[in-house]
Chains A and B, each alone.
Chain A
Amino acid sequence: MTEKLLQVENLKISFDMGDSLSEVVSDVSFEISHGETLGIVGESGSGKSVSARSIMQLLGKNAVIDKKSSIRFIGEEITEKTGKEMRKIRGKDIGMIFQDPMTSLNPTMKIGKQISESIKIHEDVSKKEAAERTKEIMHLVGIPDVDERFEQYPHELSGGMRQRIVIAIALACHPKLLIADEPTTALDVTIQAQILELLKEIQEKTGTSILLITHDFGVVANMCENIVVMNQGQVVESGSTKEIFSNPKEDYAKRLLAAIPNLHEQKTRAAKEKLIKIYSGTQEKVLEVSGLSKHFPLGRKSTLKAVDDISFGIYRGETLGLVGESGSGKSTTGRAILRLHEPTYGETLFNGLDINRFKKRQMKNLRKKVQFVFQDPYSSLNPRQKVEDIIGEALYIHKLAKSKLKRKQRVEELLDVVGLDRSFSQRFPHEFSGGQRQRIGIARALAVEPDFIVLDEPLSALDASVQAQIVELLEDLQRKLNLTYLFIAHDLATVKKISDRVAVMYKGNIVELTDSEELFENPIHSYTKKLLSAIPVPDPHYEATGGHVSPDEEEEITIEGQVLTEIRPNHWVLQ
């Protein structure tokens, strides 16, 4: 039997909380062969990152690894190594890639230096040789204009480029093992596809093994031969990717797989009927946006056209999905509609009246009809307010509750509606999980009984299984209260599930607008195609048969001077 590159056995890690030990990883075992890619999949709090960091011995001082645990790397016991010995392994034999490229590079150090630092530590090379090696590696990870980039600082590069730099740092000394901790979670889907492709290429060229930690089954299916599924610090299932996808044994893995939105799912009959009503013109428009623009001044001369002359309508009771990558203007659109950002030009008709001409009093009345749910459930709730005050504040502002008792009752009703316990009203936001907080955010929006809610990426900070629950809640509320949603997201799969129609945004314009099934089955605009092809499909067979075509990154899509045209019935494309 050939020796494995890495063998982790009975790994048990606890954190010293001062007076007690809290166990976060218990009895975890897995192994990686030379040249293999192993995926560790789990939701937040499953202990997957802690396990990975323990291989590098990069846990905080308060982490305690149990004495019976064993981490063998090329036959050597990592847990017994001193700090000095570990430093020789870190960066040389094991490289690590972190999640967020925006924060994982030192902002005050030149890029070239950040990469060559690693080479200089581990190898006896001259400054010139180190610089040459650095440039080779930058070339390997697909960075154009290497000489120029070498002298730049991280803030001068885009997110995708920065992640390539992070990978270059990890690869600098040709490590035998690459630990990638959620390497694409913070990236747009088209960039994610490029980075995953790059990791595969590198593995082919250098033969390094990869330990890929992720919450995304699509990424795993795309990348890994074998996977380990973790939950609450334990391995719940492990085996070949194909085996687990086709025949998950444990409930937890089944649930996780079931929570993945299926792109090929057919619409329900009710949803189809709703669409027919919208297209036949019998459904009234709640909101009609025409020529809406939001420009931000950049210095004295140039302006950023975040939203550039867009028009669309939203019908009563429908969910319009607004999809785009970061910088596409989707969030700005959501805010400009509610005048959270004052639009530069354009009309926003709400029930037939242009709200952009509303005076202060009219706006206050409008706030009762339209509401907003924010992306980050952690920063969108005031940490010093009790849940009762967070949800009930609007009741007070709009004089919707006559007495304190009435207000309390109404808050409790709202907690019921969003599926939270009534006793939560006396607690503070920090006591809740992300999913619970997002429910509180929804209850806050519902308090004034609005007609229309803008949901700005309400799911992107949540785990997949929690996402599914929130989607269910939103759909349920829509049916019961006849709500209309504008659902903003970067994740096409979720948008497909919840939306009746979808608008795709690119560089401040809507490039395609049609019902979600049509959009996924018959995308016409080249940007929509690019977006769709970039989604990792959670199906190892599909990936194995080479079904995946990774998007060409150089391709520049021009939209200058084009207009949204109806090319097929109810299918609008910018051309």
Chain B
Amino acid sequence: MLKFLMKRFVQMIPVLIGVTILTFSMMLLIPGDPAQIMAGESASPEQLELVRERLGLNDPIPVQYFDYLKGVITGDLGDSIRSGRPVAQEVFGRLAPTVELAFYSTLLAVFIGLIAGVISAVRRYSITDSAIMFGALFGLSMPNFWLGLMLIQWLVIGAGWFQASGWGSPAQMILQVVTLGTAGSAIIARMTRSSMLEVIDMDYIQTARAKGVSERVVIYRHALKNAMIPVVTVVGLQFGSLLGGAVLTETVFAINGLGRLIINAIRARDFPIVQGGVLVFSFLFVFVNIIVDVLYRFLNKRINLN
């Protein structure tokens, strides 16, 4: 197990280096001169040259990249143009709400998705099945910012049960998590249903029934554990789109998270923040998928950990 983890972490290094190359190229690819943006529209040529010199923009590109990489490793992601504070401080200060939001949404998606998927599969072609699958299609097709706006309209403005801004108390979290987790629940429900249907026809399910095992145990202990294997992979990939979805959800619900930070930074052309934010998002995604990998191997006994 330990050996496997070590191996996964080593394999991760090239991926992370790839991520830094991409975020670094972002700076090169944005239209306009970064020095001009930093120094402001009215800067004189001398001032511009000074900024360029300070940022190392006159160095050859590979040198610039290695400076950047050195910064990433030592935790120095540059300074925000707007606030002048270090990017690392800004980004990590906003990380908690985003990670919490994504985590709770994943939990909700897995919980609802699995239950709905199992029920749908067990009662295949029944009205319940049709209703769940219709709901899933609906949840999948609904853009989450729209769902968020509707929930605010009904349950915050209308009923007054929840709060529509901030992050921390349950009243500030439930709608937000539902908004972000709905699409995930729908995808997991559909995936679980088809995976369960496949497993339920397997011989070993008949073997279990022939032992006299009750139907509930057959479904949850024998079938679901096997049906989970492909679902776990989807959950990992889903986490990536949850991070993307967080950007929208945070904007709609005015949560001071990383997503909103990036949006505001884009508007203000505060590129070091955007760069740092994207980098942190990418790292998170890679880490989550390693966790999923471990989980996958834990569930699927046929894969040897070494």
**Which residues from chain A sit less than 8 Å from chain B, CB to CB?**
56, 58, 83, 87-92, 95-96, 98-100, 103-109, 114, 117-118, 121-122, 153, 155, 166, 169-170, 172
Contacts and interface: CB of A to CB of B under 8 A. Distances in A.
Nearest to B223: A106
B52 interface: no
A103 B202 CA distance: 7
Contacts of B300: 108
A381 to B, nearest CB: 23
Interface stretch (B76-84, B127-135, B207-215, B267-275): B207-215
A108 B206 contact: no
Interface in B52-74: none
Interface of B: prevailing SS: helix
A95 to B, nearest CB: 7
Interface of B: 202-204, 206-215, 221-222, 225-226, 229, 299-302
Contacts of A92: 212
A90 B207 contact: no
Contacts of A90: 209-212
A92 B211 CA distance: 7
A204 B93 CA distance: 75
Contacts of A117: 208, 211, 213
B212 A107 contact: no
B209 A106 contact: no
Contacts of B202: 103
Contacts of B204: 103-107
Contacts of A169: 207, 211
A4 B147 CA distance: 67
B88 to A, nearest CB: 41
Nearest to B124: A61
B301 A107 contact: yes
A571 B206 CA distance: 49
A109 B222 contact: yes
Contacts of A170: 210
B304 to A, nearest CB: 10
B299 A121 contact: no
Contact of B203 (A95, A98, A153): A98
B301 A153 contact: yes
Given A153-B301, A155-B301, A155-B302, A106 B210 contact: no
Given A107-B302, A108-B225, A91 B203 contact: no
A103 B203 CA distance: 6
Contacts of B221: 109
A107 B226 contact: yes
A106 B207 contact: yes
Contacts of A106: 204, 207-208, 222, 226
A122 B212 contact: yes
A88 B203 contact: no
Given A107-B226, A108-B225, A108-B226, A98 B207 contact: yes
A118 B226 contact: no
Nearest to A53: B206
Contacts of B222: 106, 109
A223 to B, nearest CB: 21
Contacts of A155: 301-302
Contacts of B213: 87, 91, 117-118, 121
A479 B12 CA distance: 63
Contacts of B206: 58, 96, 98, 104
A105 B207 contact: yes
Nearest to A152: B301
Q: Which of A87, A153, A172 has the most CB of B within 10 A?
A: A87
B80 to A, nearest CB: 48
A539 B45 CA distance: 104
A89 B212 contact: yes
B211 A91 contact: yes
3 tightest Cβ-Cβ pairs between the two chains A and B: A91-B212, A91-B211, A90-B212
A100 B209 CA distance: 16
B203 A121 contact: no
A115 to B, nearest CB: 9
A99 B221 CA distance: 23
26 contacts: A56-B210, A58-B206, A58-B209, A58-B210, A87-B214, A88-B212, A89-B212, A90-B209, A90-B212, A91-B213, A92-B212, A96-B207, A98-B207, A104-B204, A105-B207, A106-B208, A106-B226, A107-B226, A107-B301, A108-B229, A109-B222, A153-B301, A155-B302, A169-B211, A170-B210, A172-B211
A339 B209 CA distance: 46
Nearest to A110: B301
Given A106-B226, A108-B300, A153-B301, A100 B212 contact: no
Given A90-B212, A103-B202, 5 more contacts: A107-B226, A107-B301, A114-B207, A117-B211, A121-B211
B109 to A, nearest CB: 23
A386 B229 CA distance: 36
Contact of A95 (B208, B210, B225, B226): B210
B216 to A, nearest CB: 11
A87 B211 CA distance: 8
A172 B212 CA distance: 12
Contacts of B302: 107, 153, 155
Nearest to A166: B207
B292 to A, nearest CB: 17
Contacts of A103: 202-204
A88 B212 CA distance: 6
B212 A87 contact: yes
Contacts of B301: 107-108, 153, 155
A169 B222 CA distance: 15
A212 to B, nearest CB: 16
A103 B204 CA distance: 6
A108 B222 CA distance: 8
A329 to B, nearest CB: 24
A83 B302 CA distance: 34
A150 to B, nearest CB: 15
Nearest to A88: B212
A118 B203 contact: no
A105 B203 CA distance: 7
A56 B208 CA distance: 12
Nearest to B215: A83
Q: Which of A58, A92, A106, A118 has the most CB of B within 10 A?
A: A106
Q: Which of A99, A114, A122 has the most CB of B within 10 A?
A: A114
Contacts of A105: 204, 207
A153 B221 CA distance: 15
Contacts of A172: 211
Contacts of B208: 106, 117
Nearest to A106: B204
Contacts of A88: 212
